[in-house]
Amino acid sequence: MKIIGLMTIRKNQELSYFTAIASHAPDTVNIVRFTPLDIDPLTELVHGYFYHHEEGSWEETTFPIPDYIYDRCFYNDQLLSKKCDPIVKWLKQRPQTTFLGYGLPNKWEVYENLINEETIAPYLPETNIVSSYPKLIKLLKKNKSVILKPVKGSGGNGIIHIKLVKNGINLHYQRKGENIYQTFAKQNEFRVFIEKLLSETNYLSQSYLHLQKGNRPFDIRILLQKNKDGKWGERGRGVRLGTENGLVSNLQNGGIVLSFEELINEWKPTQKQLILEEIDTIITHIPRLLEEKFGRLFELGLDIGVSANGAVWLLDLNSKPGRKVINTIKENKELYTSITDYMKYLELQQTTIRKE
């Protein structure tokens, strides 16, 4: 009987989601969950949790490294993440183990690999790596207004809007949904702030895009997954609407969910058609391009922005997307069954290769 391992950085992370996956799985597939640090490197046994279909509960136990792994580990600069990273890299090289998807590298590496692709490049905001204070100042003088994003950031965390104004430099960021503003009248004070920031993590700079509905930021979240035939398909789309005068639309920062229809009904018919065509172009090309450059993927979250003049922007790509936006609109059973369906597809492919 095949084993699918649901892997996270922290114990009990995404527990309700994993329980839904396990409860929807057929009896012919064993479901376990674990963290990379639960693996004994000497015995290659894992001390994690096994799902009992009959009882509908998890049991703490020991089991072999799973045949298939659904990787939901989010990597950043924190110590726990750094400990897990080499173990996961080892697992990906292990011949007996198959990852449903191998994930994407950091935002800068993804951008560098896409910016020369003519089908996708027009939708990418101008992006630069910020390696020093002088480089940031040069970009700020050129654009007057920029967004700083952590290279390994997620959930809208760490994003800062920096604006050059007459009396100095204005900063705007959000923390737990609260808008925080800061003004530096003296450039030396701003330099100290930025150099401390850059010493803690790596940042990207993007041109600031005014993507708002009224005075609230918004974006479109689209979830793509592979089906039982290994083909990409859309599981759903919804709109994240941020707080009033906010900077980001992420739900962790106080955003709410709207249906996609609520948004597009506000657009003029001719504008609506063009925007939908642009979004379809992105959906059609982006999975193939990413897999050509970074290897097999299983799912993708696309964050798309639309400006007041109808310009479409691909704001972010996530190979380990959340599901709250999609499930808020309408719960989709396929979000839970797709993992075992795709595992069966991969197993069939491997069986076919062995026979050949």
The residue to which tokens 């002088």 are assigned: 134
Q: How confident is the model over 167-205, as pLDDT tens digits?
A: 899 999 988 778 899 999 988 999 999 999 999 888 999
Give which of 165, 288, 163, 188 is closest to 232, Cα–Cα: 288
DSSP H/E element including 312: strand 312-318
Per-residue model confidence (pLDDT) at position 353: 57
Place of tokens 């970074």: 294
Q: Is the dihedral of CA 115, 118, 124, 127 positive or negative?
A: positive
Instruction: State residue 156's pLDDT score.
Output: 67
Q: What is the pLDDT of residue 177?
A: 74
pLDDT (tens digit per residue) in 17-50: 999 999 999 989 999 999 999 999 899 999 999 9
Torsion of CA 209, 212, 218, 224, to 10 degrees: -60
Q: Which residues contact 193 (CB under 8 A, 6 or more apart)?
A: 184
Predicted confidence at residue 190, as pLDDT, reads 93
Nearest to 102 by CA among 56, 69, 65: 69
Sorted by sequence, the CB contacts under 8 Å of residue 101 that are 6+ apart come out as 71, 296, 297, 298, 299, 319
**Residue from 220, 306, 224 nearest 255 by CA:** 220
Q: Could you state, in chain order, the average pLDDT of each consecutive group of 10 residues for the chain (356 residues)? A: 92 95 94 97 95 94 96 85 92 95 94 96 95 93 92 79 91 85 91 92 91 91 95 95 89 88 89 95 97 96 94 95 90 91 91 59
Please tell me the distance from the alpha carbon of residue 107 to that of residue 116, in angstroms, as a whole number.
Answer: 15
Taking the mean position of all CA atoms in its chain, how far away is CA 97? 23
- Give the C-alpha separation, 152 to 202, whole Å: 8
pLDDT of amino acid 253: 78
